[in-house]
Structure 1
Amino acid sequence: MTGPLWLGIDVGTSSVKVVLVDDADRPVADAASPLRVDRPQPQWAEQDPEDWWLAAGAALDRLAADHPAAMARVAGMGLSGQMLGVAAVDRHDRPLRPAILWNDGRAAREGAMLERVVPGFAAITGSRPMAGFPAPKLLWLNFHEPDVLRRARHVLLPKDYLRWRLSGDAASDRADASATLLMDTAAGTWHPPILAACGITADQLPRLVECAEVTGHLRPELARRWGLPVGLPIVGGAGDNMCGGVGAGVVTDGAAFVSLGTSGVYFVANRDFQSSVGQGMHTHRHGVAGLFCQQAVILSAAAALTWVADLLGADDVGRLVAEVEAAGISSADTPVFTPYLAGERTPHDDPGLLAAFSGLSFATGRLHLVQAVMEGVALALADCQDALAATGAAVTGPIALVGGGARSRLWARLVAAATGRPVSVAADAAVGPALGAARLARAGAGGPLIGGAGELLFAAEPDASLAGALAAKRDRYCAHPRR
């Protein structure tokens, strides 16, 4: 086989994934290395940026060992990553503290303060300054760890920390950067009054680029380590939600996807900038030129499934889900679960919300609990759809389902039933953000953004009886005690 290959790297919350695809978007090889989230205090979530680098290196080492000929054909690299993380590095290129992640809720007070200090904050940035976003977290650092900001040479998003290590370039694409809430999102530039309110300067932030723009080239010693071409170009890439959209083919006005990753995301592309001012919604720039995106996010999706598996002593989540699917449990027999294990963003915008089971009985077994978690996530995504509709986001066509949870046909059926919309799952749904990053790398070299139509793995239409069972639970779901 000949022809160029494209490398996509996705710095996720639970792992770093790398994928090689050809010009027709056919996967040639992939690898992954796990990551761990630290929670040193309630509502805190952190990772050491060095762990991102080590995990990425391990995954690329595996590709280099198993597919040396393919690595030699790579013509471009694109980056994707978990959004909203704050990584500060000093003048010696060392992280000054663990990165504060997207699902960290410590900065709620600072968010409220920014909203008071900066008039029209959401109209400028596209979102209210909710606790998980970088702007409030930087203000929190300014108050609680001012030495970190004083010593910070660069403040970087997760994938951009990886870029720094790969090429020495401090750059960020305008899509991922728009979610920092430090930007004038419509204009695509840093916003000086917001920077000043957060206690940071533009000199500490990366230069802004387009998603398919080349930001630099792989360091020669790393090219030799992984058998990659010397001078390999690296493009801007995008945040994992935007890259997930590119990977899922959500690249036109009104197209939508739902991600069942660590978090749950309901993402709608649109051509107009529509700022979101309530219900935990946010609007950012898409990874596709000329498009914006509205996002509704639940903070615990597959993370809730992992939590209940750990609670039940199950060490293989996939096997546990397979047991549930084989059991054929009726939704009428499962308890109600609200997945607010880390607070909630959409539609409640409250980092203090708590999860709950209700409707338990002696007949409730371990598999009932697992299915209830999956149902609760589906109902939370229905809440997201209602919030999107309230802000005028119009979805056209079926929803593309992506992320690790997309492997489950039951979960796909539950999402279709809860939202009332058909769901499609592509064969490459589990590597969507990494695929999107690879596609942006190809576009940066002058090739097409979409190289080919992905193979459809399965589809799910809304099932009337299942939809009725979930609708019957909706009142109890919405009425659960939240504090």
Structure 2
Amino acid sequence: MYLGIDLGTSGVKAMLIDDGQQIIGSANGALTVSRPHPGWSEQAPADWVRATEEALDALKAAHPAALAAVRGIGLSGQMHGATLLDRQDQVLRPCILWNDTRSHVEAAALDADPRFRAITGNIVFPGFTAPKLAWVKNNEPDIFAQVRWVLLPKDYLRLWLTGEHMSEMSDSAGTSWLDTGARRWSADLLAATELEERQMPNLVEGTDSAGTLRPELAARWGLGSGVVIAGGAGDNAASACGMGTVSDGAAFVSLGTSGVLFAANGSYLPNPASAVHAFCHALPDTWHQMGVILSATDALNWHSRITGASAADLTAELGEGLKAPSGVTFLPYLSGERTPHNDAAIRGAFAGLGHESDRVVLTQAVLEGVSFAIRDSLEALRLAGTNLSRVTAIGGGSRSRYWLKSIATALSLPVDVPGDGDFGAAFGAARLGLIAATGSDPVAVCQTPATAETIEPDASLASAYEEAYGRYRRLYPAIRDAVTG
């Protein structure tokens, strides 16, 4: 048996699979986000441990024999979080999360140093880890002076599970400190934020062993000795492993809290000017590109809170058939935006509202706005040298057929829907645990699931969607100065 643990923003998911990669069971532990000031987003690392304990306790209650047979554990996690520890491995402050934008000034200052783009292959975004440390140095100098270790969220769980300070390439590529092409820490970039390599965890590939489960935890959940903990992956790379998106040209679109258009690459293809992320993949000698939007299902969930209707009810009101855009445009920039704007200060907007703009029209605009934001990422990928022929849909938002029809039509690409099963980050993490424990060939393990159906673009609405996308593109520069001041 093999276990995948995915540390997300809203919860921890633990999944058990067997040697044949059949899912035996899964369980969850809930998390909440603290937003003490506008633009801030934090979590207490102790809550990650508590949520993981809840998930594993539930797995033990439901599948004690299967859990006892686990040989390998893979970790996946939300990326970019700054988890700061002192010399005794005590947490110094709440973790600053991926969607926290307080460090936009520091990010711009680091990005102005040409070494960062040249070495990392990426813009220094406010959500990345390095500018967060610069913010701590500028605003919480007493805490900065005590920092002995900087860990990413899933690697804090690894420390709790194994006692090891270790990370891997895919997650570390999102810090702005990794030489992404060479797959190693950059001493120059660390020095630019007044840090040293000794404050970073040791690096392995995601398929390698990165410690073993501590005996006291193994005893708690009835596991044997010597359970291997894989290097694992950042959440998107882990999802790619779950989806089999590991070969050059394969791609998926993820509709989670954030939205991601992910393309696997057989070589390193950076193009920072396009605001596309060029990161290491979880498998050795592979890389990937991502366009990232900060609010995907988060935008629909916001709309749900405002209207008092559930997200499922809102999308059901749209019916089955894709509608032509109404003329109401929604910008889903509720937390700022990454691809393609790199704008932490921009905020969302509706435009084109009229007396006839009812709840259904607004819901349609929200879904279209996210679809057009993903189209922005597709255009950015094309500028970075990657052309896609189709994508596979994953994430909670992919349960909406209407949304998938909208995305297919906005992208002018077929969207494949996997067969029944959960092929997300927890499943990908479990696959990495299997590889690390058995030495199996990573590509052979990370196969693509069967496609249940393919949603084709609606050719009859192609011109209407293209026109609506043009309105969407014009709206950002039109409101940017008014919104950001």
**What interval of TM-score do these two structures reach, taking the shorter chain for normalisation?**
over 0.9
Deviation at 1:126, TM superposition (A): 1.3
C-alpha deviation, 1:152, in angstroms: 2.0
Tell me the distance in 2 between the aligned counterparts of 1:202 and 1:364: 55
Q: Does residue 315 of structure 2 align to residue 321 of structure 1? A: yes
Deviation of 1:435 after TM superposition, in Å, equals 1.1
Task: Provide the C-alpha distance between the structure 1 equivalents of 2:9 and 2:370, rounded to a whole number of angstroms.
Answer: 18
Q: 1:96 corresponds to which residue?
A: 92
Q: Where in structure 2 are the equivalents of 1:139-150 lying within 5 Å?
A: 139-150=134-145
What is the CA–CA distance in structure 2 between the aligned matches of 1:312 and 1:329, rounded to whole Å?
22
In the TM superposition, residue 472 of structure 1 has moved relative to its aligned partner by: 2.3
Structure 2 vs 1, CA of residues 357 and 330 (structure 1 numbering), >3 Å: closer, same or farther? same
Amino acid at match of 1:135: A
Residue of structure 2 equivalent to 1:30: 26
The 1:430/1:261 distance shift into structure 2, 3 A limit, reads farther
Match of 1:421 in 2: 413
User: What residue in structure 1 maps to residue 15 of structure 2?
Assistant: 19
- Could you tell me which residue of structure 2 aligns to residue 368 of structure 1? 361
2:170, 2:455 → 1: CA distance?
A: 31
Task: Please report the TM-score for the alignment, with normalisation by the length of structure 2.
Answer: 0.94
Query: Which residue number in structure 2 is paired with residue 56 of structure 1?
Result: 52
In the superposition, the TM-score normalised over structure 1's length comes to 0.94
Which residue of structure 2 aligns with residue 226 of structure 1?
A: 221
Partner Cα separation in structure 1 for residue 243 and residue 146 of structure 2: 40
User: Which residue identity does 2:168 align to in structure 1?
Assistant: D
**2:118 corresponds to 1:123:** yes
CA drift at 1:273: 1.4
Amino acid in the other structure paired with 2:338:
R
State the one-letter code of the partner of 1:343.
Answer: G
Offset of residue 332 of structure 1:
3.3
> How far apart in 2 are the matches of 1:474 and 1:382?
8
TM-superposition CA deviations, 1:310-349 (whole Å, max 9, x none): 11113x43343334346x5723336211100001111111
- Quick one: percent identity of the two aligned structures? 46
Query: 1:324-473, aligned counterparts within 5 Å?
Result: 324-325=318-319, 328=321, 330-333=323-326, 335-395=328-388, 397-427=389-419, 431-444=423-436, 445-449=438-442, 450-451=444-445, 453-473=448-468
- The 2-side partners of 1:372 and 1:20 are apart by 39
Instruction: Tell me the distance in 1 between the aligned counterparts of 2:308 and 2:109.
Output: 42
SS of the aligned residue for 1:479 comes to helix
**RMSD of aligned C-alpha atoms?**
1.7
1:476 paired residue number: 471
Contact residue 236 and residue 425 of structure 2 kept, 8 A = yes
Query: Does the 8 A contact of 1:128 with 1:276 survive in 2?
Result: no
Q: Aligned equivalents of 1:181 and 1:25: distance in 2?
A: 34
**What is the letter of the counterpart of residue 301 of structure 2?**
T
For the 8 Å contact 2:322–2:406, the answer to whether it is kept is: no
What amino acid does structure 2 have at the position aligned with 1:82? Q
The amino acid that maps onto 1:14 is S
- What is aligned with 1:85? 81
Q: For 2:73 and 2:318, locate their aligned partners in 1 and report how far apart those are by CA, in whole Å.
A: 39
Q: CA deviation at 1:276?
A: 2.4
Residue by residue over 1:56-106, the C-alpha shift from the partner in whole angstroms, topping out at 9 and shown as x without a partner, is 111111111111121122121000001111111223332211111111111
SS at match of 2:274: coil
In structure 2, distance between residues paired with 1:320 and 1:429: 25
Of residues 298, 305, 308 in structure 1, which corresponds to 2:300? 305
SS at match of 1:78: strand
Instruction: State the aligned residue count.
Output: 475
Report the secondary structure of 1:345's partner residue: coil
Equivalent of residue 3 in structure 2, options 3, 7, 10: 7
Within a 5 Å distance, the mapping from 1:232-311 to structure 2 comes to 232-311=227-306
Please point out which of 100, 107, 110 is paired with 2:106. Answer: 110
Match of 2:195 in 1: 200
After superposing the two structures, state which structure 1 stretch, 378-387 or 52-61, moved more.
52-61
